[in-house]
Structure 1
Amino acid sequence: MIDYGVHPVLGVRIAAVDYACAVEKIVSHAKEGESFAVTALAVHGVMTGFLDSVHQRRLNGLDLIVPDGQPVRWGLRLLHQISLPDRVYGPELTLRLMRAAAEESLPVFLYGSTEKTIKLLAKNLCEKYPGLIIAGMEPSKFRQLTTIEQQEVVSQIKKSGARLVLVGLGCPRQETWVYEYRNKLSMPLIAVGAAFDFHAGLLPQAPAWMQKRGLEWLFRMIQEPKRLWRRYLYLNPLYLFNLFAERLGIKRIPVLLPDQTEKEESYG
């Protein structure tokens, strides 16, 4: 189990951990009934914080941010000379966490995405891990929730008996949701994004060779070009430029390009 501490990558505090450490931390807090806010960030997630100081404070208010993307893992090595054996990929972390939840009889709540997606996700996860308990699920309303609706969500999750929540609202909304609900729910809240679609069988994952070489972004952009081309063609070069600038001690100037980020208001 590896834990090299927490280190900033473009101002976002990334935990230099491996899968075993991340799962152990989450399961430990779930057993104790303690709040624990978690997300797995790739380049897009890091850049949402780099380009928006308010969102950066949200991200740095979470308890654990793992390096989901290979370029984020490489950033730890470039800036802090920390070499991790692998990234902590959100979809893979989800599977390892669900295996542990099944073994430890920790009920799980699924929050976000569409009703079709979370039903397929629950079915597939329970088939893969027979002992897994899905305590409840609630799809996204794809809009900002009212105060009353937020209270109803909290009540629903508490009454379900869940010991941890998987959140799939997409970056950066899911990180905002986890940040806002972290003090309302005494359990781990884990933002896993595309893992919902991947494990529901609705979206293909990049081949292993592309993932290893940090090319998953290219695979995803080919799959969803209209939605993702701005994100990757703007943010990836901007990430690399500022990463090397930070390494060389050059003052970084974040430039917000048109349509490169999404609205960050919390919704459910």
Structure 2
Amino acid sequence: MRVVTLDRIFDSTDVARLPHRDQIDGIDVRRMRWFGSKRYPIAPGQLLAIRDADLVHVHALDFAYDYLALTRPLHRRPMIFSTHGLFFHTPFASRAKELYFKTITKLGSFAYRAIAASSAQDEARFRTIRQRGVLAVENGVALDKFANLAARGTRNIIAFGRIAPNKRIDQLIEWFARLTHVQPDWTLTIAGKPMGVSLDALRAQAGQLGVADRVTFHEFPSDDELRALIARASVFACASEYEGFGLAAIEAAAAGLYLALSPIEPFRRSLTATGHGAIVDFADPTSPAAFIDAYAAGQANLPPPPQSLEARFGWQAVSEQFEHVYCCVTGRTRRLIDTVAIYPINASNATAHIAELLARSEPAWVAFANQHTINTAARDPVVRDMLAKSFVIPDGIAIDVASKLLYGRDFPENLNGTDYLPNLLQALPPQRLFLLGSKPGVAERAGQLIRAIAPQHAISGWHHGFADAQATQELIAQLRSKQPTLLLVGMGHPYQERWIAEHAADLPLVAMTVGAWFDFLSSHVPRAPLWMRRIRMEWCYRLYLEPKRMFSRYITGGFIFMGHVITQNLRGDRI
């Protein structure tokens, strides 16, 4: 791992440059020289720092986002982006920001394989410029940093974090002055790093409002100093008018502080998650009295223990989400081909996974994906949803071409269903099989041949693939009665996927699409010569046998498929 950052700390009293290279907890740190505004620090040197990276994770919307997107054809590194509130914290130049976001930011987004929104608010905003590849991965919080430090029952309010214009510390001080008119013994502590706000101006405001002796300011507190301040407080207050996520509020909740938060959506979600605090309209002259009543009632309830917040906000959970994103966008655990996520897996690992699914005795679906599958999923939401819930296996040369273009490498193995299924059945432990599909008599003949191929399995039954509504209900009753563990559905695509989606969701078995395998196995439909199969040209033979039906699937469908893949490559999404 390598961290690429800048060589000066914004708004620090120490203007000295930091070392260009460093090691922190075993992590390689590279610091870049920069010039320009701290809101858009220009640092061209980062291009060299990422040249050997397997994946680049860009944080925050500034020069790095634009520069690395623009130079993507040069460095060719896969990238993801975390939003961190974007740049809408204040109303300053709001129209210019919106225009920039909808043009430059939108164009740059196509260079990123995933957009990890740091909040639901960021996710919603980013989806206005990019529909695919956007997901919420909220900020991680060090919940043990201030855990259980609060002094419950005291009348000391603390506001900590960045002291920036959007935090509206001025409005908080004005509200606090009104609070002391109702209950005079409250105090207010303001601690943090000034960023665009003058502490002298805030002190003057407190003096004008007559609360200078009850408001204290702590500039650039260390973690130890902040712990000591929190340990004297019982309430965390924030009058912010904009938050991307609201990290300080979650840290305060873990400390056991009662939360008094402004009525913005991120804070409403924080209160829903923590259950300890109140929404306060800091501009409302009557809100101090309402706060006092709410605070008194809240003292009867214990604050949430930090461990109760771990699953949603803890770094362990967030790091696991990012690991999943990293593996997906690099194609290690699954590869998104247009709308279908396919597992990059070889035959032995696929068989092991299917055996695991069978051992669970729960509903599970297995499907094969070729170019025709991808094309159907693009226009059929039922098939698309079914495949999203399935263990999907790569099938065909076109899928490999797509993987090479999108991820830079082929799938580990082409698991053509017709060749793979006999090996799968031979390797699986004893199962109860039910065969569904093809014309009358074909599935029965295929079942007899399966007994010879894999004699450890019992054939629970079979049924052709042309059942009407009444026959389908009788078939479902038969499946429930005979309780097969593995249902092989060979109705052809997309009918088999639709049938599974509609009828197999509640059946405690593994339903697996097998296409025309029953026809091939029973020699009802001839297969291509072995030499054609070895060079992965069996589709040409099927086109020769059925030119009218297969032309649209293989030729017209091939152009449509490559259109989807090229569009996805230009669009950038891999998740």
* Range into which the TM-score falls when normalised by the shorter chain: 0.7 to 0.9
- Name the stretch that deviates more: 110-119 or 76-85: 76-85
Aligned to 1:44: 372
Residue 106 of structure 1 and its aligned partner are, at CA, apart by 0.8
Cα distance in 2 for partners of 1:242, 1:10 equals 6
| SS in structure 2 at match of 1:130 | coil
Q: List aligned pairs for 1:1-268, cutoff 5 A.
A: 4-60=332-388, 62-101=389-428, 104-141=429-466, 145-146=468-469, 148-249=470-571
Residue 212 of structure 1 and its aligned partner are, at CA, apart by 4.5
1:139-173 deviations in whole A, cap 9, x for unaligned?
Answer: 1225xx42x54432222112223111100000001
Residue 82 of structure 1 and its aligned partner are, at CA, apart by 4.0
Partner amino acid, structure 2, of 1:223: L
Partner amino acid, structure 1, of 2:454: Y
Residue 209 of structure 1 and its aligned partner are, at CA, apart by 4.0
Partner amino acid, structure 2, of 1:81: G
Determine if contact 1:27/1:100 at 8 Å carries over to the other structure: no
Aligned to 2:141: none
Determine if contact 2:431/2:456 at 8 Å carries over to the other structure: no
Partner amino acid, structure 2, of 1:156: Q
Residue 188 of structure 1 and its aligned partner are, at CA, apart by 0.6
| SS in structure 2 at match of 1:40 | strand
Residue 112 of structure 1 and its aligned partner are, at CA, apart by 1.1
Cα distance in 2 for partners of 1:100, 1:250 equals 39
Two-structure CA RMSD over aligned residues (Å): 2.3
Cα distance in 2 for partners of 1:74, 1:233 equals 15
Determine if contact 2:465/2:491 at 8 Å carries over to the other structure: yes
Determine if contact 1:71/1:214 at 8 Å carries over to the other structure: no
1:63-90 deviations in whole A, cap 9, x for unaligned?
Answer: 2111111211231232123433321111
Cα distance in 2 for partners of 1:65, 1:230 equals 23
Cα distance in 2 for partners of 1:46, 1:213 equals 22
Partner amino acid, structure 2, of 1:121: A
Structure 1 or 2: more helix by fraction: 1
Structure 1 unaligned regions, length at least 5: 252-268
Residue 54 of structure 1 and its aligned partner are, at CA, apart by 4.6
Aligned to 1:257: none
Q: Tell me which structure has the larger Cα radius of gyration.
A: 2
Partner amino acid, structure 2, of 1:84: F
Cα distance in 2 for partners of 1:124, 1:242 equals 39
1:197-221 deviations in whole A, cap 9, x for unaligned?
Answer: 1111122222344334442221111
Change (3 A) 1:97 1:44: same
Cα distance in 1 for partners of 2:427, 2:369 equals 22
Query: What is the aligned-residue identity percentage?
Result: 26
| SS in structure 2 at match of 1:105 | coil
Aligned to 1:256: none
Determine if contact 1:31/1:163 at 8 Å carries over to the other structure: no
Partner amino acid, structure 2, of 1:59: L
| SS in structure 1 at match of 2:335 | strand
Residue 95 of structure 1 and its aligned partner are, at CA, apart by 0.8
Highest relative contact order (Cα 8 Å, sep 6+), 1 or 2?
1
What TM-score do the two structures reach when normalised by structure 1? 0.82
Partner amino acid, structure 1, of 2:364: F
Change (3 A) 1:42 1:207: farther
Cα distance in 1 for partners of 2:442, 2:471 equals 21
- Name the stretch that deviates more: 84-93 or 41-50: 84-93
